[in-house]
Amino acid sequence: MKALVFNTFGGPEVLEYREINDPVFGPRDILLEMKAIGLNFADIYRRKGNYHLEGQPPYILGYEGAGIVKEVGSHVEGVSVGDRIAFADVPAANAELVVVPSDKAIPIPEGVTFESAASLLLQGLTAHYLTKDSFSIKNGDVVLVHAAAGGVGQLLIQIIKLLGGDVIGLTSSEEKRQTALSVGADSVYLYNNNWKESIMEFTSGKGVDVVYESVGSTIMDSFDVTRIGGTVVFFGMAGGDPVKIDPRMLMDTSKTLTGGDLWNVLTSLEERVNRSRELFQWIKDGHLRIAHTLFPLSEGAKAHEFLESRKSTGKILLIPS
């Protein structure tokens, strides 16, 4: 099979598309012929050597994708050759063939494309638990979403609106502001303007009910625009490490700080299937829209460059030939 591999850590130029041995799968595994592969910032961090990678070179990136079942292990039940399967957390996805443990195989329903499934799972399941578990959005909640034009940000906006909330977004450019507005944000402000003042004006001085904080370095600003008794949900630090939080501030303002990590939620196949089922249904019903940019898997280096440029909005997919 062909795969996108690298032998040393570094920039996009270390990636090469070449022939390697087919993967070996066991009795409880599924061999998937890949049709679409999600590209995420975690892939960049692993390519640079900032995240842990198992095994020895040549390394294969990628943890998210969708494809058709090519072979099924002898102990796998309920899955047949030809079935359409997606996954959110299986390594070595940047290849024509991927071994998927059967307890991580998520069926793709009719009416959902490979591209949509590969675009949805990591970011969509993240947005799902953030709005259902970390803070349960209810009708009338006023919500601030950081990095609103990113993959998770766009899905958060759409899901919050589905659940009856009002959304304020924050972005870094006018183009990204328009992207956030196009998926349903009620108002979007730019980071380089006086956004805290604008948010307090939008909420008549009260502040928002909840902030989805993925920047990290802005966490105290997020608390500043959160109402008394409100919540800040911390789930990322794309802009730098957060400061330490003084619990006395939380006591004095009755505010809540909570965190979230997807892998504390996806603890079983049942969790994966049930949460994905709701996301897939929203796609089929037209309630969720996912913009994606396609690159051939053979041009994976160009896809990495595009993602690192911060010019992309929505999802980047790698498509095997």
Q: For domain 139-259, which architecture applies?
A: 3-Layer(aba) Sandwich (3.40)
Q: What is the 3-state secondary structure (H, E, C) of 64-75?
A: CEEEEEEEECCC
Q: pLDDT band at residue 250, thresholds of 50, 70 and 90?
A: very high
Q: pLDDT band at residue 314, thresholds of 50, 70 and 90?
A: confident
pLDDT at residue 124 greater than cutoff 90: yes
The predicted structure's pLDDT at residue 54:
79
SS3 content of the chain, % helix, strand, coil (to 5): 35, 25, 40
Mean pLDDT of the chain: 95
Of the candidate ranges 85-99, 108-122, 238-252, 301-315, the one whose mean pLDDT is the lowest: 301-315
Q: What percent of the chain has pLDDT over 70?
A: 100
Phi, psi of 104 (to 5 degrees): -120, 10
Q: pLDDT band at residue 283, thresholds of 50, 70 and 90?
A: very high
pLDDT at residue 313 greater than cutoff 90: no
Contact assessment for residue 176 and residue 313, using Cβ atoms and an 8 Å cutoff: yes
Question: What's the CA gap between 220 and 92, in Å, rounded?
Answer: 38
pLDDT at residue 238 greater than cutoff 90: no
CATH of 2-120+266-319, one of 3.90.180.10, 3.40.50.300, 3.30.70.2080, 2.40.100.10: 3.90.180.10
Question: For the chain, which residues make up each domain, given as ranges?
Answer: 2-120+266-319, 139-259
Question: What's the CA gap between 127 and 133, in Å, rounded?
Answer: 10
The predicted structure's pLDDT at residue 308:
87
Question: What's the CA gap between 173 and 170, in Å, rounded?
Answer: 9
Q: Dig out the tokens for 278 from the structure.
A: 């709701």
The predicted structure's pLDDT at residue 321:
86
Beta bridge partners of 190: 171
pLDDT at residue 255 greater than cutoff 90: yes
Contact assessment for residue 37 and residue 297, using Cβ atoms and an 8 Å cutoff: yes
pLDDT at residue 239 greater than cutoff 90: no
The predicted structure's pLDDT at residue 121:
93
The predicted structure's pLDDT at residue 106:
98
3-state secondary structure of 84: strand
The predicted structure's pLDDT at residue 141:
98
Mean pLDDT over 267-279 rounds to 95
Mean pLDDT over 19-38 rounds to 97
Q: What digits encode the pLDDT tens for the residues 31-78?
A: 999 999 999 988 998 999 988 787 889 999 999 999 999 999 999 999
Q: pLDDT band at residue 291, thresholds of 50, 70 and 90?
A: confident
The predicted structure's pLDDT at residue 151:
87
The predicted structure's pLDDT at residue 312:
72
Q: What digits encode the pLDDT tens for the residues 186-237?
A: 999 999 999 999 999 999 999 999 999 999 999 999 999 999 999 999 998 8
The predicted structure's pLDDT at residue 77:
94
What is the number of other CB atoms lying within 10 angstroms of the CB of residue 220? 12
Mean pLDDT over 6-30 rounds to 96
Question: What's the CA gap between 98 and 90, in Å, rounded?
Answer: 8
- Equal CATH topology for 2-120+266-319 and 139-259: no
Question: What's the CA gap between 96 and 196, in Å, rounded?
Answer: 47
- Tracing tokens 């959160």 back to the chain, one arrives at 226
Mean pLDDT over 114-130 rounds to 95
